[in-house]
Every structure is written in structure tokens, then in C-alpha cells.
Structure 1
Amino acid sequence: MRVVLAAVFALAASVACAQTPIERGAYLVNAVMACNSCHTPIGPNGPDVSRLLSGGRTFDEPRFKVTGSNITPDKDTGIGNWSDAELKAFLRTGVRPNGVPVAPIMPNIFYTVLTARDLDALVAYLRSIPAVHRETPAPEYRAKSPHEEAPYAGAQMTEADLADQVQHGRYLATIAHCLECHTPPGEAGHDFANSAGRGGTVFKGPFGDVVSANITSHPTKGLGGWSDDEIKRALTQGISRDGRKLKPPMAYAAYAHMTAQDQSALVAFLRTLPARE
């Protein structure tokens, strides 16, 4: 399994040499966007790549109970019957081809910024992976979820936008939906207007209860006092500034395969987040 997983990440990392749409899509799915965290079954040794992207975690929330979908090309249980246009529209809107929206645990509100090139790359990669016939439980919607507007999202970005390092970092942080986990939730949704990046979301799992960190530029509560290298180490190795080992569900293994250029751009953007206590 480790050999297969290494091959997956090797394909993801090959984007550093600017290659094919499939290689770019592999990099986005397996590194930046960390799609395996929700869409691949997780075993004791990490993602079960023999069932890559065939459905994963179950989220049992007050408003819904949903399981990460099968997004392999299987025609019966996956997305094999979706057209390219339908898949791209879904990524940006969260509405399936049958008109039914997904639960907001799927961060489509952040994917509105995806460039045309990256939408093409995501589709190309998802078409290229092995089809896995695997049913996932039907979603259960218990109450209407509030509408949210993601910070730093909105209009589709262009390749020209990404030439600026901070804008490039903003793009990466947005499609990685960093502020989804690092902003405290409330009854009306995330408090992006007043608390974006302040942390405070509690994640429960086999790792215990984990509270998301403050990733704003606050000098003591956030990352303001951290060096660039310390932030990169926390992101890619799960090691805090004081040497403490950080816990899941942060996808350190995926982010470890981000290019050096992308890591630097992401840090440059995080430096611009308004300080929050």
C-alpha cells in the first residue's frame, strides 16, 4: 500500500515541472485540496489507495448526515455518467446534475475561484483514476443549512492573477479551504466576517478532540511570531513551533507534497490575514 501511495504522491509532485492536465489535477486533488481526507476510506495506515476516492468519511451533524461520495469514474456508483460540464458546474456550485445540492461540508463555496485550467485538470485527473464500484450511504438532510459566502472566494481567478505571490497564496488557501476549518462555526454558519482564521473549530475523532489553530497574523495568538520555515514545517510535517507534534485531521501528509513555490506563496498570503484574538 505504501508503494502505491508513494506513486500517487509522486504523480502529484511532478507538477513542479509543469506538465499535463492529468498531472496538474493529481497535484491539486492529492496535495493542495487534500480530497482523500473525505473521499477515500481511511485505515490505520492512512488512506486506502486500493479504493482511492471511492467514498470516505461520514459526517454526522445536526443538519445532515453524509458520507464523502464516490468520485471515481464508475458509472453506477461514481461520477462516470457525468459530463465534463456537469462536473465543473458541480465543483463551483455544489449542485449535482440531478439538481440536488450537496451538504455544505463539501467546500464548493471556496471552489468558485478555480481557474479554467485547473477545472480542466481536475476533470482530466478524475477521469484517469481507476473506477471503483462502491456504494456510499444516501445523504440524510435534517434541516436547511445557512447560505455562506466564503472569504477570498467569489469570482473565478485567472492564470495572470497567480503571477502575484500573495494572490497565488490566496488562491491556494481558498481551494484548500483553510478558512473553513480555521474559523469558528456558529448557528448561522461560520463567522467569516469577524473571525476568519481565528481557529476554534472542534474536531472529534480517534485522535481525540482537536481544536483548530489561529492562523491569522496575530503576534501571540496566531502566526505573527512564527518564521516562514516554522509555518511550513507545521503545514507539511505537523510539528508546532515549540516542537510539539500536531494531531489530525489536518492533512499534513498531503501538504508535504506541495511545491516549495506554493508553500512560500501560501505563507505570504497567511501573513496578510488580519490579526484576530
Structure 2
Amino acid sequence: MAAIAVAGSALAQTPIERGSYLVNGVLTCGNCHTPRSPSGAWDMSKQLSGRPRTWDEVTFKVNAANITPDFETGIGKWGDADIKRSLLSGVRPNGAQIAPITPYGFYKVFTPADIGAVVAYLKSVPAVSNAVEPPVYKAAMHVDIPPGADKAMSEADMTDPAKRGFYLVTIGHCMECHTPLVNDVHDYAQLGKGGQPFPGPWGVAVSRNITSHPTAGLGAWSDAEIKSAITQGVRKDGTKLNPPMAFSRYATMTDQDLSAIVAYLRTVPPKE
């Protein structure tokens, strides 16, 4: 019955409500696409209008795009199919590839209903005029697709807590940060082992091992402790985790979805 309730919670929402839940919570789109005020807080008057930061990498230099429905500086001229294609395949309406800092390699698992909900929500947010510098592509770009994430999942999959947890962890691109990189490519043989450094105003945060290993990972953590880490940024020992993990956004997730994530993380092979 619990699994049925999990699936039903999504079905009870309108597409825009479901899209808001995903975009503002699970997907943490605002982490990159919403500008910040001088205090460092998100400037919600410019929600999703882009350019809070720049990524200057070996293969590209890009700014977070304006993904509001503004016709001149956002995606207002894009059709539903254009937006879906950009999210699922990383291709703009003009055929140009989007830099994989947008984790579209993780989005192929989207259920048809959820990708439709994301599109519906993005088209519903206020249009904000905010011109963002065009991307610069320097070389061919590698796109990671995590194991088991190469095709859409079904609504039937969502009735299984562990499968639903895998789905949420994947569209939330958790393993993008929590899997080691080797020569700028994710080493999925070490899925969930962590170890990536993230410098920022907080110093240097290192992504944690979230495998089921009993000491190096989360194997000895209770369900409640894992949920607290996700939504409040609190470790098992009570100390605080550092950004860039978006605890406040994950705090909007339902307990059913958090329980599904925990169920999946229990299945991730232990790595030390």
C-alpha cells in the first residue's frame, strides 16, 4: 500500500504543480538558473532567469541560461517539443548541443508525465528579461549517462520504492557529484563513492560516500539520519554539511519520496 501511495501522490497534482515540485525541489534548477542577491540569497524576483555564475571548462564556457518564457532572452519562443528535446537530448532548437553542465544525460529516465510537467511549469513562471552571454564551445563535449538511465522509466516503475528512489536520485543528478571523476569522466564503477571537491565561500566541500558501505558510506545510518542529511544538511554525528548541496530545496520533498531515495541508496553497492 505504501508504494501505491507514493505513486498516487504525484497523480493527485496538476502538471504545473508537479512541475513546480520537480523543478524547485528534486531537480534544484534554481541552484544554477536563479540569480542571487548581494546577501547570497536567491533573488526570486528573477527566478530562473539565468547568469548567477559562469563555467569555464576545457570544452566550453557557459553561463546559466534564462529558462523563463521571456520571448527575447529566455525560452518563450521554444515549443513544448523543443524544451523536451533540450532536456532529454541536450539539443537546442537550432540544433546546437547544450553544454553538459546541464545534466541532460541524467534526464533520459524522465517519465513522459514528469517531463511534460516540467515543461508545463517552465512555461508558467513569470517571464524575466535577462540577457545571458551566449555559450562558447571549444571542443567536443563528453556526455555521461549513468548506468540504467538510458531510457524513460514507466509509471509502473514508480510503484516500487527502490526503483522510484533510483528515478529520483537520477533526475536529481545526485551521482553527478557523488561519483568520482577520472580525467573529467565519471567512474561509474565507483558509483556513489564521492570524493569530488567543491570549492566555494564555505571552503572546499568534498562529496560524501553515499554507498551502502557500513563505515565509509551510509550503511550504518538510520533512515531518519539519511533524510536529515538530505533535507537539513546534518550528518549522523550532528555536525553540519556544507553547500553546494541544496538542502533547503530538498526539504520540500515528500516523506514518501525521501523514503524511496533511502530505499534505493540501501541498494547501492558498498565502496570504500
TM-score range, shorter chain: over 0.9
Q: Give the gaps of 5 or more residues in structure 2.
A: 1-8
Q: Give the gaps of 5 or more residues in structure 1.
A: 1-14
Question: Is 2:2 the partner of 1:20?
Answer: no
TM-score normalized by structure 2? 0.93
Question: Is 2:67 the partner of 1:54?
Answer: no
Alpha-carbon deviation of 1:16?
6.7
Counterpart for residue 3 of structure 2: none
For residues 134-162 of structure 1, what are the alpha-carbon distances to aligned partners after superposition, in whole Å with 9 as ceiling and x for unaligned?
Answer: 01122122232224322231110111110
Aligned partners of 1:54 and 1:70 also within 8 Å: yes
Alignment of 1:1-277 (within 5 A): 18-43=12-37, 44-55=39-50, 56-187=52-183, 189-192=185-188, 194-277=189-272
Aligned partners of 1:16 and 1:259 also within 8 Å: no
Alpha-carbon deviation of 1:90?
1.1
**How large is the Cα RMSD of the aligned pairs?**
1.4
Aligned partners of 2:86 and 2:98 also within 8 Å: no
Going from structure 1 to structure 2, the CA distance change for 1:121 and 1:17 (only over 3 Å counts) comes to closer
Going from structure 1 to structure 2, the CA distance change for 1:223 and 1:123 (only over 3 Å counts) comes to same
Alpha-carbon deviation of 1:220?
0.6
For residues 5-59 of structure 1, what are the alpha-carbon distances to aligned partners after superposition, in whole Å with 9 as ceiling and x for unaligned?
Answer: xxxxxxxxxx778221100000000011110011101232421101000003322
Q: How many angstroms apart in 1 are the aligned matches of 2:127 and 2:266?
A: 41
SS of match in other structure, 1:249: coil
For residues 107-157 of structure 1, what are the alpha-carbon distances to aligned partners after superposition, in whole Å with 9 as ceiling and x for unaligned?
Answer: 001100111111111111011100000011221222322243222311101
SS of match in other structure, 2:179: coil
Alpha-carbon deviation of 1:62?
2.5
SS of match in other structure, 1:223: coil
Instruction: State, as a whole percentage, how many aligned pairs show the same letter.
Output: 55
Which piece of structure 1 moves more, 163-172 or 57-66?
Answer: 57-66
User: Residue type of the partner of 1:102?
Assistant: I
Q: How many angstroms apart in 2 are the aligned matches of 1:153 and 1:57?
A: 28
Count residues in correspondence: 262
Aligned partners of 1:152 and 1:174 also within 8 Å: no
Q: How many angstroms apart in 2 are the aligned matches of 1:171 and 1:17?
A: 16
User: Residue type of the partner of 2:206?
Assistant: V
User: Residue type of the partner of 2:150?
Assistant: G
Alpha-carbon deviation of 1:270?
0.5
SS of match in other structure, 2:185: coil
Going from structure 1 to structure 2, the CA distance change for 1:156 and 1:16 (only over 3 Å counts) comes to closer
Q: Give structure 1 regions of 4+ aligned residues with deviation exceeding 3 angstroms.
A: none
Q: How many angstroms apart in 2 are the aligned matches of 1:174 and 1:149?
A: 10
